[in-house]
Amino acid sequence: MDGKMIIEEMKIELSDMHFYAYHGVLDQERKVGNHFTLQLTAWTQVEKSLETDLLEDTISYADIYETIAEEMAHPSQLLEHVVGRISRRLYAEYPRLLRLSLTLTKDNPPFPGDVTSASFTLLSRRDG
């Protein structure tokens, strides 16, 4: 045994990102807004950063957050559309991303019953 490390996977996780945004099918939702929470897990290729300790060899968590915040600021009717926009932009801006898991949750959706939240999750991977 030579003690060589085998890397199985690398993940970046941003948990419980909170936003106040204007997403929803109803006009009132897009006027008044609501609280949203987003979870991100990104599988990456950042092996070099394990050795170099340099930001340019990984993906900046702060940059990922800023990208997400910019997309959350654009109203959409559907959670699915918001998550789709975020995913497409992350893949376009961060070529080291391999796979993503994004869950967007709307707090207290305007349903006639007692519902704490409504969520949409997208699991995706880079093509090619």
The residues that are catalytic are 106
d(CA 10, CA 19): 26
Q: Would you say 104 and 120 are in contact if contact means Cβ atoms under 8 Å apart?
A: yes
SS3 123: strand
Whether 84 and 93 have beta carbons less than 8 Å apart is answered as no
Sheet holding 34-44, edge to edge: 11-21, 34-44, 97-107, 117-125
